Amino acid sequence: MIYFDNSATTKPYKEVLDTFVTVNEQFYANPASIHEAGTDANILLDRARNQIAQIFHTDERCVIFTAGGTESNNLAIFGISKANTHKGKHILTTDIEHASVLEAYKSLEKEGFEVEYLHVDNSGVISLEELKAKIRKDTVLVSMMHVNNEIGSIQPIEEAAQIIHANSRATFHVDAVQSFGKLPIHFNGDNGPDIITISGHKIHALKGTGIIVFRQKMNINPLILGGGQEFGIRSGTVAVPQAVALAKAARIAIENLNAAKVRYRNWHKGLIQFLSKFGDLIHILSTNSGVGHIVSFSVKDLKGEILINALQDRGIIVSTSSACSSKQKKTSHVVTALNVDPKYKNGVIRLSFGAFNTDEEIERFKTEFTYVMKELKGVNL
Amino acid sequence: MEWKEVLIRYGELSTKGRNKKEFINRLRDNIRNTFKEISPLNIVTERDRMHIQIESNDQMNILMEKLPKVFGIQSFSPVAVCDKNLDAIKLLAIEIMKDFKDQNLTFKVEVRRSDKSFPYETHELQREIGGAVLSHYGNLTVQVKKPDVELRIEVRKDAIYMMAQIIQGAGGMPVGSNGKSLLMLSGGIDSPVAGYMMLKRGVRLEAIHFFSPPYTSQNSLEKVKVLANELSKFGYKIRLHVIPFTDIQVLIKNRVPENTIMTTTRRMMMKIADKVREEINGLGIVTGESLGQVASQTLESLTAINDVTSTPILRPLIGYDKLEIIDIAEKIGTYETSIQPFEDCCTIFTPASPKTKPKVEKVNYYESFTDFDELIDKAVQNRELYIFPMVKPKEDKFDGLL
């Protein structure tokens, strides 16, 4: 099986699983306990926290372990908005965010927050002019994904950060779930984000793990109340094995970042070239300015589901635009925001690469896809 | 950009007449000691400043990280070099001034031509270099009197030396230049801060800790070791004397009235500390006491405790508020360790309401029925010794997990 659905989830690294098992076997004590076993677990947890803090250029007290990207995003959005109502109730995000951001914003809107959305151009990138126009003195939160999960477009985080910080007291939250390990992302004073969220299972760690990191200590309302773990921001016994496994996967991701970037970029380039040969039969949504590890496109008047089944029969796993929304029948909000011609709207499929993919697999895809297109569309290349 | 050296300006020691040479040598040795990992460092000392020669950017990074902690340094500046031609000088000036480009600052160019054969005059150089920087960074303006930034250029025989950044040092005096004292290190917030204050004044420290298993746990001892290790990062190694204190504490509990236990315990600690101080040739005893903070720190209590020795007891925090002490603890990185919740020997056996105004005569009277000296000598003899910074890191049981 050739697995090209890494933006949905990844296969964990062997060494990450080994860490997870070892920590479960040897350091299973509660890190909040004062006996020696607990202290050991706590030291190990601190080491993991420190490793993450260094990756993001922040203090270790600004790293909170969560149960995933969705929780991290929810915590950032609800936590910051509700803790800052004295500054204002205006919050901004974009049209193409992940559901864990959009649904949180909708919920806040119902509670009386004033929500505004930034639109994107055909390549899926926001306009800094629009951001400048919409940011206000009473804006308290801006959430923006670094890399879009469906088409791979990259938002100009640095420029956006400068505009946000120069014109408001807002907290700038960057959802880096799809970019971490593929593009550099860390804190950088007023030229960068204030909060970064990532998910473990997108970087070959375990499902049910995530992180939220802060540029500095900030006022935030917790979502989960209880024993006051994680500096009172996220109660619940800390899952040390998950945290350590995630710290390891994050380290591996950063160490491999540059090599991975080049590899994905080459595959991306090659595939765009290949797909262009089909002329107007194929509409490519992922432009060259986007990230390398996501290629999404659609075939004219063909349902994505059909393509997925056909490719699966030939041993290749791809997905419709996003796994989270792929079971719903309606067109994805990202595709809608991009103003795609209706003829192409129903056939968007996405290839997303991970650490285990190889050059051979990319070539194999080209061969099989050519065959499938001949079967379904009667085209000969 | 090629870093050539770090220029160090001395702190208070610049003003110390005849002892100056000794102070400077002390500072040089402390720097050598702090940077063992990148030694041997080539250090050139002068009357008013010191130069550390740099051989690689890695060395530079380590120096920049740790120099701000070394006492006796008022400020320091990284110095870069370039070839002796105008274009190279301009390029380097622009590179060096990059750190200031985003702020609306004023600057001036200061030129020293120790190599008089260099074809450009001072004024020419100032104009050329100032112009180049100005046209490159829109935010900067020139001001000759009291500029925010001084771009210093020295024309020497071998190359052009240039610097602009001035980084604040830790101030104070080189550790070791003001004798040695024994710090009573409890594991709380105050005592490491007291140690830090004395280190800052150039006092070399050894530390003493009272360990009462099983009433206090191994964790609380580990915590004290971490604190001692932190303090050893300020330029001098620290020896930690751990006193087995259980027997004495139990004896005190059984022999003196409940509301005097605390005072007597402190007096016994002081006696032991004084004996250890004598053995190590220390001149004073340092404590983290702050007036009125707890029952043992009222003037009456301090008098009663002090009564057992004539050794100078240094209490650098005596006039500090708790919040001020916490601020310093956070700054020097001991706070997080100090607040870990482990019992220390001061909190066991203490009654709900200890005497806040003990009378020396009465305490002496209560203690007179018991011979503590034998146990005290035994405790001093049986003390354990640890040396920080820890030379060999403990075997890492988490190896490979991260």
Q: pLDDT by residue (tens digit) across B32-90?
A: 888 877 777 889 988 888 999 988 888 888 888 889 888 999 999 999 999 999 999 99
CATH number at residue A308: 3.90.1150.10
Are A185 and A273 found together in one domain? no
Task: Give φ, ψ of A254 to 5 degrees.
Answer: -70, -40
Q: How many CB atoms lie within 10 A of CB A349?
A: 24
Q: What does pLDDT average to over chain B?
A: 89
How far, in Å, CA of B276 to CA of B241, rounded? 8
How close is the nearest chain B Cα to the Cα of A39, in Å? 8
Among residues B121, B151, B171, the one where a domain terminates is B171
How far, in Å, CA of B33 to CA of B15, rounded? 24
Predicted confidence at residue B389, as pLDDT, reads 82
- Contact status of A42 with chain B (Cβ, < 8 Å): no
CATH number at residue B122: 3.30.2130.30
* Residue B96, domain member (yes or no): yes
Residue-wise pLDDT for A60-74, tens only, equals 999 999 999 999 999
A48 → chain B, closest CA residue? B402
CATH number at residue B271: 3.40.50.620
DSSP A112: T
Among residues A255, A279, A312, the one where a domain terminates is A255
Angle at B361 between CA B263 and CA B265, to 5 degrees: 15
Residues 6+ positions from A277 with CB-CB distance below 8 Å: A381
Q: Can you tell me whether residue A200 is helix, strand or coil?
A: coil
Residue-wise pLDDT for B319-356, tens only, equals 999 999 999 999 999 998 998 877 666 666 777 778 88
Are A198 and A310 found together in one domain? no
Are B65 and B130 found together in one domain? yes
Among residues B108, B136, B171, the one where a domain terminates is B171
How far, in Å, CA of B79 to CA of B77, rounded? 6
Cβ distance of B402 and A247 shorter than 8 Å: yes
How far, in Å, CA of B325 to CA of B331, rounded? 10
- Contact status of A189 with chain B (Cβ, < 8 Å): no
Torsional class of A339: left (φ above 0), alpha (ψ -120 to 50), beta (otherwise): left
Predicted confidence at residue A233, as pLDDT, reads 96
* Maximal C-alpha separation, chain B: 89
Residues 6+ positions from B393 with CB-CB distance below 8 Å: none
Query: How many domains does chain B contain in total?
Result: 2
Are B159 and B186 found together in one domain? no
First and final CA of chain A: distance in angstroms?
25
* Residue B399, domain member (yes or no): no
* Residue B35, domain member (yes or no): yes
Extract the tokens encoding B50: 């010191």
* Test the B interface: residue of A20, A39, A44, A63 with most B CBs within 10 Å: A39
Smallest CA-to-CA distance from B357 within B285, B290, B295, B313 is with B295
How many distinct helices (H) and strands (E) make up chain B? 13, 15
Q: Which domain holds residue B25?
A: 2-171
Among residues B122, B147, B171, the one where a domain terminates is B171
How close is the nearest chain A Cα to the Cα of B400, in Å? 8
Q: Which domain holds residue A249?
A: 14-255
Residues 6+ positions from B157 with CB-CB distance below 8 Å: B114, B115
Predicted confidence at residue A322, as pLDDT, reads 60
> Is pLDDT above 90 for A153?
yes
Are A214 and A244 found together in one domain? yes
Extract the tokens encoding A273: 């070239």
